[in-house]
Amino acid sequence: MMMTKKRKLLFYSFIGIQVLVLFFITFTHYATEWYGEEIRLKTEPIDPRDLFYGDYVTLRYDINNVSTNDVEVNVPLDDSYNYRPVYVVIEKKDYGKVVSIHNNKPNVAKHHAVLKARMQYWGKGSRGNNIHLEYGFERYYADSETALELEKDYGKFDVIIKVSPWGQKISRLDYK
């Protein structure tokens, strides 16, 4: 059965679009590494295991838990807002520090960066209202030997993340 010219063109166009989408996905990952801004974060690792992905280290950062006494909050503080996406303004000094939390992506000065996170409101605590933020780079996958080393080196390394307009990711671990 012969394909008409129109059907051939449609078929090859469909294949070409799929290949372009794969290249675009790959490029955005590497482009974040090449062009993204660096932010250094303090960590506290925990070592779990995932049946499907293998060994990884769960990393907690100073920027994961914040108090409303310490940051400007421009989102509703109630349980109905749990797990919704928010934009977190980070000050890029020695270590990244949360400055403010917003519903929409704000314009920021050069010495700030914006990270996308999911917010969970924890309510009143000893230091005001507590907010937990998850950024999506709390897991660092490694082989079992490296994961065990990272667990032993608890607190002896920082995480360098890269932030670009199209994404954020862990760039590398930096030993002190």
- Report pLDDT digits (tens) over 50-74: 555 567 777 888 898 888 888 888 8
**Global confidence as pTM:** 0.71
What are 117-158's pLDDT values in tens digits? 998 877 665 556 788 899 888 877 777 777 777 777 766 778
Looking at residue 147, its pLDDT comes to: 72
Residues in the chain: 176
DSSP 153: T
Number of helices and strands in the chain (H, E)? 2, 12
Helix (H, G, I), strand (E, B) or coil at 121: strand
Looking at residue 20, its pLDDT comes to: 94
Give me the amino acid identity at 49: R
Q: What is the mean pLDDT of the chain?
A: 80
- At which residue do the structure tokens 């779990």 appear? 48
pLDDT category of residue 5 using cuts at 50, 70 and 90? confident
DSSP secondary structure letters along 54-120: EEEEEEEETTTEEETTTSEEES--SGGGTTEEEEEEEEESSSEEEEEEESSPPP--TTEEEEEEEEE
* Most confident listed range (3-17, 33-47, 122-136): 3-17
